[in-house]
Amino acid sequence: MRHFVIVGILVIVVAVLTYVGLDSIGLMPVEASAQAVPIDWMWNWNVVAMSFFFSLIAVPLFYSLIVFRRRKGDATDAEHIEGNDALEITWTVIPLFIAIVFAYMGAYSLGAVKRADPNAMIVKVTAIQWSWKFEYPDYGITTKELYLPVDKQVVLKMEAGDVIHSFWVPEFRVKQDIVPGRVTDYRITPTLEGSYKVRCAELCGTSHAYMESPVVVVNQAEFDEWVAARRSEVAAAQTPEERGQLLVSANGCAACHSLDGSELPGPTWQALFGESVKLADGTTVIADEAYLAASIKDPLAQVVEGFQPIMPATYGFSDEEIADIVAYIKTLK
C-alpha cells in the first residue's frame, strides 16, 4: 500500500507540473474571436488530460525501474501474477467514461462555434492561387484585405477558383477548407482589435507559403470610415487606367506579377507593353493590347518562356474589366 500512496502522490505532482509547464510556454496564439473561447476551453481540458495520462504512465514506469530493480546478487524469480479482473475492468470502464465526457464536451464546443447570428454581416471570399479576394456585397466594394468590425459576427461565403484552399487565421482558431464548385460558410465574431493574417492551410501549389492577406479588426466607427474610403476610391476611378489599378489591387494580381521588375512566379508587368515576349514554344510575340487581353482570358495558351503554366483560367473578368487592366499595364513604364 505504501508504494501505491507514493506513486499516487507523484502522479498528481508530475501531472500538475506538466500542465503548468505546457500552459506557461504559450502553445496557442492570442484569443481574438468569440469562437476561440470554446475551442481554447476544449484545448485546455485536453492538455489537462494529456498531462495526467503522461504522468500516469511515466511515474509508475520510472518508479518501478528504480524501486523494484533487481538487486546485486538477487537470483530469485519475481512474483508470478495471473491477472486481475477488477483492475482490467476498471481501466476499461474509466477511459470509456472519459471518452464519452470528452465527446460531449466536443459537441458542446462545436455547437458554440457554429451558433449563428441572424444579423451577421456577409463577406464573399474567393481563394485563387495564390491570393485572397474579399467582396462586401452590402457596400459594393472588393479588396485584398479583410476588414472586420469588432464584436459583430461575420459570415464568410467562401469559394475556390481553382484547387482546394483552406482559410485560417490562427488567432480566430477556426479553420475551414474551400473546395472548388462549393460555397463554404465560415462564421466568426472578432473580439479583439488588431492586425492579423489569413493563411492558406492547404498545400495549393508552388507559392502556397506566400498566400496570405491582412486581416484587420477595428471598432465600428473605424470600419465605417474604411468602407467610405474604399467606396470613394471606386467612385473616383473614372479612367480605364484607374479602374484597372483597382482591379489589380483587389484581385491580388501583384502576388504573381510584379509591378517593379522584381522576380515573382509570373512575368513582371513593368515595361511589358510593346515589348517582344519569347514564349515556351520558341515563338516570339509583341505584348500589345490583343496579346495581353488574350493572355488574361486564356493564360495557358501562350506561356512565357522560363515560367510555369500555373495561372488559373477562372478569374472571370469581363471584357470591359480586361480592357481596364490592359490600360493599367500600359502605364507601368
Sequence ranges of the domains in the chain: 2-65+88-114, 121-235, 238-331
Residue 276: strand pairing partners: 286
User: pLDDT over 90 for what percent of the chain?
Assistant: 41
- Please compute Rg for the chain using Cα positions: 29
For residue range 286-306, list pLDDT tens digits in order: 777 777 777 777 777 777 777
Cis peptide before 130 (omega within 30 of 0): yes
The more confidently predicted of residues 327 and 180 is: 180
Residue 289's identity, in one-letter code, is E
Beta strands 121-128 and 154-160: pairing type? Answer: parallel
Helix (H) or strand (E) holding 282: none
* Whole-number pLDDT of residue 142: 86
For residue range 27-42, list pLDDT tens digits in order: 889 999 999 999 999 9
Residue from 314, 316, 300, 311 nearest 207 by CA = 311
Domain at 238-331, CATH from 2.40.110.10, 1.10.260.40, 1.10.760.10, 2.60.40.10: 1.10.760.10
CB atoms within 10 A of CB 246: 21
Query: Under a CB-based contact definition with an 8 Å cutoff, are residues 296 and 315 in contact?
Result: yes
Cell numbers that stand for 99 in this block: 471518452
Residue 102's identity, in one-letter code, is F
User: pLDDT over 70 for what percent of the chain?
Assistant: 94
For residue range 73-107, list pLDDT tens digits in order: 777 777 777 778 888 888 889 889 999 999 999 99
Fold for 121-235, please state it: Immunoglobulin-like (2.60.40)
Average confidence score pLDDT of the chain: 85
Cell numbers that stand for 273 in this block: 507593353
Beta strands 131-136 and 154-160: pairing type? Answer: unpaired
For residue range 104-145, list pLDDT tens digits in order: 999 999 888 888 888 899 999 989 888 898 999 988 888 889
* Whole-number pLDDT of residue 147: 94
Alpha carbons 280 and 301: distance in angstroms, whole number: 10
Q: Is the dihedral of CA 253, 212, 147, 314 positive or negative?
A: positive
Alpha carbon separation from 275 to 60, 168, 184, 303, 327 (Å, rounded):
75, 40, 42, 15, 15
Mean pLDDT is highest, among 22-26, 51-55, 62-66, for 51-55
For residue range 186-222, list pLDDT tens digits in order: 999 999 999 999 999 999 888 888 889 999 999 999 9
Mean pLDDT is highest, among 14-23, 251-260, 274-283, for 14-23
